[in-house]
Amino acid sequence: MLLDQKDVVKLINCAQKRVDRHTSEKQGWTGQCDTPYYMEQDLPILLCDKSKDQDVEALLATQFSLIPRAHYSGIKKNLRRLVCPPPFVTRKNVDLLLSQLFERSDRPRVLIVGGGTIGEGMEPFYTDSRIELISFDIYPSPNVQFVADAHCIPLKEDSFDAVIVQAVLEHVFYPDRVVEEVHRVLKDDGFVYAETPFLQQVHEGAYDFTRYTESGHRLLFRHFRLIKSGACSGAGTQLLWALEGFFTGLFRSKYLGKLVKVLFFWIMLFDYLIPDSYNIDSANGVYFLGSKSSSTVSELDIVQHYNGAQ
């Protein structure tokens, strides 16, 4: 469950430099500590060391996010669940991660990077009272305890038993830096679980930058020991995304694209009929579950890691 706000603040670097922007003259940006922060409606807002005051004002002026966040209810919520069900692979991976966490600790501390929206299959981390959950994103929501930039996570090193990075790395400028930060805040042998797109259409417009093959994803997490990796959504799901994109572009209508996705949702079931090796080569998205390591996987090991059908 989400950790209490007062306990989260204890983990924030330089928490003593709190600044309320409504009552102070930006004195928090004096450079006296690594990560000074602002408060906005009791929500800590933390930026990287090199950020300027105007960056904070721009962030606040846009209500922290330039991407509109859809909220679904009623029939729309049910239709979304139909076309975007929690992937079976994700649920299995979450169960495995939870079992390994509780083998090591009765009360594991978990960090979710980009947790403004609860990710598909991630509900157990929010509902299990044994988990000390911390979540942040670049915009405020009821699911986060602070706003921050994943390129410089403003939390103490060696603080977490696990970090989850689901559908985030495609939206950051420098994924390597984010993964380095994940490595830093993890305890020795702490776990990381990541899901990242491979063959997906652009989403979130101008804030979508990167895609990874399964091998490329392993390379990104080269400072972690492999526990499990592969396709979290396969060729069937990828085809459904392609059909949505095709009809959206052909008729210049995103609504028609969504309708096609609803009508042909059953195509995703082919993920379960296609062998894993072929899904890896045509994956809609890939995953990595690993543990923090002090060594680096070699280039040869990365090449030998390939488990596709070619």
Rounded to whole angstroms, the Cα distance separating 235 from 278 reads 8
DSSP 8-state secondary structure symbol assigned to residue 42: T
- Chain-centre distance for alpha carbon 107: 22
How many Cα atoms are found within 13 Å in the side-chain-facing hemisphere of 139? 12
Q: Domain map of the chain by residue range? A: 15-61, 74-305
pLDDT tens digits for range 40-67: 667 777 776 555 444 555 555 444 555 6
CA distance 134 to 126: 10
pLDDT in tens, 236-272: 999 999 999 999 999 999 999 989 998 999 999 999 9
Q: What is the pLDDT of residues 125-173, one digit of tens each?
A: 999 999 999 999 988 888 999 888 899 898 989 999 999 999 999 999 9
The residue-averaged pLDDT of 5-29 equals 55
Q: Rg for the chain (alpha carbons), in Å?
A: 20
Q: What is the DSSP letter of 49?
A: T
Q: Which string of DSSP letters, residue by residue, matches 109-165? A: EEEEET-SSPPTT-HHHHH-TT-EEEEEESS--TT-SEE--GGG--B-TT-EEEEEE
CATH classification (class only), 74-305 = alpha beta
CA distances 66 to 69, 201, 202, 275, Å, are 9, 19, 16, 39
Distance of CA 159 to the CA centre of its chain: 18
